[in-house]
Amino acid sequence: MIFLARLDGWMRGLEGWPRLALAFGLGAFCATAFAPIGFFPALLLGLAGLALLLDGAALSPRPWRAAAATGWAFAFGQFLIGMHWIVYPFMVDPAEHLWQLPFALASLPAGLGLFGALGVLPALLARRPGVSRLLLLSVGYAAAEWLRGHVLTGFPWNLPAYGWGASLAVMQAASLIGAYGLSFLTILLGVSLAEVARRRVLLPGVMALVFAGLAGWGALQLAQPSAMVPGVTLRLVQPNVPQREKRSAFRARNWQRLLSLSDSPGHPTHIIWPEAAADFALARDAVALQDVARLTARGAVLMTGAIRVDGTAQAFRWYNSLYLFEPGGAVLAVYDKTHLVPFGEYVPYPALLNPLGIAQLIGLPPATPGDGLHRYAVPGAPNITPLICYEDSFPGAAITAEGRPGWFVNVTDDSWFGPWAGPAQHLLTARMRTIEEGVPMARAANTGISAVIDGRGRIIAERGLNRMGVVDAPLPAALNPTFYGRFGDLVFLAFLIVGAGLALLAARQH
């Protein structure tokens, strides 16, 4: 305890660059809580350290400026390390794009760090260290994370809730309170540990009991087996084509690989290919459509990501789409991706950024967004809602106005995310969506990780990274609608209101 008291005094006494350097280091340490490492204590300890640093910032001559800088440095460290995989798209064609790498590596974490700067400011409304300040910090930081998931189309990657990836039991809480609600409780648990350095254990003790209860409840949910949809056998095709080989010189080989893998021994009823598996205008290629007809002639349904083109060569629009082919090869439906990837499929603020050459990263005119998520009928299986690439990253946004589907179909090409951390983080995000909604997911990824996931986030079958092959598995049945599925982020909003109210009460008691 003497050591902790000295640590508290030392951290509060830091000023200027030493404080910012430690905040950066704590944020970088937090990044190890996320997939694929999954060391969740790092997130909690990093948040506790941030709370102690903010107590010191509050004593500065310019407390608001010092606190904002501390919060920014913390978030910058977390995103710089946790999202280091953003370097890989620039290495696909290094001769053309490598010069842009330093700008992208610094600018995205720096921009996301602004939400960290904003999130810590409410803590300074409390005049002294203690429960009131910690509650306000939790409210402010969690609200900033919600904003990060919504402002400028949103980017809710590596939310604090995902720090529990190593504990599927705790993750079950998302079916009650969603990723944002679990993020709020996680932040509060982490910052409450700062109280231990002051020999006060009430708040951390209460939060420990809360998470023990959530873990126990989650374990009970996981004790229930997965029911399967009768008569459905899925085949997820993972062609494992590197980005450098997704070009016209390899197109015929890549297409034959998809067909060959789909024809592997077995009797799938539904075959799913990844995002842009057909990286050409599939609907305009008569030979490819004949191949699809032959593949589905024995009664299988095919779902595949493909490029869709409208117009002529002189004036055309392109879409990142998913085609649904019925047995025999007729097109049943086409879904156009709605939530496009900034800097991958379009450039925000083109007048400002295009002169920097950033538009060249896309290599095509900007993609055209679709008109929103939809639910589609599928022969021989429950209705689906397609989610292309990172459309599965947005809490509360996977269910359409048309109703809840029987399963999600996520097609993606995570080779853009590198060979390690990015794909693992994306898979964890997909699992969180299934828990929130109680809806299973079939996920076909070009280079992996392809998986069938049940409504509690359990992986029924998968194929690992950078491995060519197929995943054959039954389709888990959807669970009953979850509490979060019914009420969405209203619970999260209630957390913010109650947290702010308790902070006010705690402040009046001192």
User: Radius of gyration (Cα) for the chain, nearest Å?
Assistant: 24
Is position 337 annotated as part of the catalytic site? yes
With tokens 């902070």, the residue in question is 503
Closest residue by Cα to residue 150 from 387, 390, 410, 397: 397
From start to end of 179-239, where are the E strands? 228-238
H or E element: which one contains 278? strand 278-281
Q: Which of 389, 391, 437, 462 is catalytic?
A: 389
Q: Which of 145, 246, 337, 462 is catalytic?
A: 337
Q: Which of 145, 195, 275, 345 is catalytic?
A: 275
CA atoms of 85 and 415, how far apart (whole Å): 10
Is position 389 annotated as part of the catalytic site? yes
**Residue 11 CB-density burial (10 A; 0-12 exposed, 13-18 middle, 19+ buried):** buried
Neighbours of 96 (CB within 10 A): 13
| Bridge partners (DSSP) listed for residue 381 | 378
| Bridge partners (DSSP) listed for residue 442 | 409, 452
Residue 431 in tokens: 């699992």
CA atoms of 353 and 359, how far apart (whole Å): 8
CB-based contact 24:73 (threshold 8 Å):
yes
CA atoms of 454 and 192, how far apart (whole Å): 34
Contacts of 80 (CB under 8 A, 6+ apart): 28, 105, 106, 109
Closest residue by Cα to residue 495 from 168, 189, 86, 46: 189
432, amino acid identity: M
What would you measure as the largest C-alpha separation in the chain, in angstroms?
A: 77
Task: Give, as one character, the DSSP assignment of residue 344.
Answer: T
For the chain, helix (H) and strand (E) counts, in that order, are 16, 13
Is position 275 annotated as part of the catalytic site? yes
Centroid of chain to Cα 185:
19
Catalytic amino acids? 275, 337, 389
